[in-house]
């Protein structure tokens, strides 16, 4: 059996990691039924060692080989473990489209509600940066938020007020609900990459840490049923059950 370690950002309430991309990797490993260890990355130096080019997480360590980027991790797992394919020859085109849309578009709504909405950011900053030694804990949260807000403004979502962003997110969630009206999974007839990509984000919107978004998910019972179904298919000893 391979020696597998998932290097990730640490947990947040109700989820395996504060990063949806790390959760995506967790769920892919659970779907494949692979045993693995988890290591939380706690320093810039460690992050640079693991992913010197992009300095992002997750990074999967598989028998000493490092694989960075959640999509590359899923592809690596599919190439090396043929059971329960994440992609298959009959994966519909819209599944691939939804997977990319989740990573590049829906993701920014989670960034917005975590970093731009002050009532969400303040407790997140306390959870995330509160254990840093002084004086780091005094200025690192502000610097990190400033960078996130700059990225949000460049992406475009940060230029809108919260009511407008909530309206947009409601439309996206309604679209996902309509997909589930036609299919059991976001990926079509079988669970796949689109489900693994969308699950961490919809679940995050449903949690109490983003209270503005929770009613938007609750408005679509099919979404919650789907969350529970994905959870059941992708559990591991390191995952946290959907409630």
Q: What is the mean pLDDT of the chain?
A: 96
Instruction: pLDDT band for 42, please (50, 70, 90 cuts).
Output: confident
Q: pLDDT tens across 124-160, in order?
A: 999 999 988 899 999 999 999 999 999 999 999 999 9
The domains located in the chain, with CATH, are 4-80 (3.40.30.10), 93-233 (1.20.1050.10)
Q: What is the DSSP string of the chain?
A: ---EEEEEPPPBTTBS-SSHHHHHHHHHHHHHT---EEEE---HHHHHHH-TTT--S-EEEETTEEEESHHHHHHHHHHH--SS-SS-TT--HHHHHHHHHIIIIIHHHHHIIIIISHHHHHHHHHHHHTTSPTTHHHHHHHHHHHHHHHHHHHHSGGGS-HHHHHHHHHHHHHHHHHHHHH-SBTTBSS--HHHHHHHHHHHHHHSTTSTTTHHHHHT-HHHHHHHHHHHHHS--TT-----
Using pLDDT thresholds of 50, 70 and 90, give the confidence band for residue 95.
Answer: confident
pLDDT of residue 91: 77
- Summarised one tens digit per residue, pLDDT across range 60-91 is 999 999 999 999 999 999 999 999 999 987 77
């Amino acid at each position: 059996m391979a020696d597998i370690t998932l290097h990730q950002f640490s947990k947040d309430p109700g989820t395996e990691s504060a990063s949806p991309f790390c959760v995506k990797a967790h769920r892919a490993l659970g779907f494949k039924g692979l045993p693995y260890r988890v290591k939380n990355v706690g320093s810039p130096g460690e992050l640079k060692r693991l992913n010197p080019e992009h300095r992002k997480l997750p990074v999967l360590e598989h028998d000493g080989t490092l694989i960075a980027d959640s999509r590359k991790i899923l592809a690596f797992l599919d190439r090396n473990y043929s059971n329960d394919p994440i992609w298959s020859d009959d994966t519909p085109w819209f599944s691939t489209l939804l997977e990319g849309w989740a990573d590049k578009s829906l993701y920014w709504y989670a960034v917005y509600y975590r970093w731009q909405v002050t009532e969400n950011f303040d407790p997140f900053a306390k959870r995330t940066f509160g254990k840093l030694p002084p004086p780091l804990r005094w200025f690192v949260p502000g610097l990190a938020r400033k960078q996130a807000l700059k990225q949000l403004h460049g992406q475009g979502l940060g230029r809108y007020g919260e009511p407008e962003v909530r309206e947009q997110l409601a439309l996206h969630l309604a679209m996902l609900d309509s997909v589930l009206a036609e299919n059991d999974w976001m990926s079509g007839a079988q669970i796949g990459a689109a489900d693994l990509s969308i699950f961490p984000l919809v679940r995050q919107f449903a949690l109490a840490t983003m209270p503005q978004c929770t009613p938007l998910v609750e408005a679509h019972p099919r979404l919650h049923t789907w969350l529970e179904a994905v959870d059941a298919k992708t559990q591991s000893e390191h995952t946290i059950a959907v409630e």
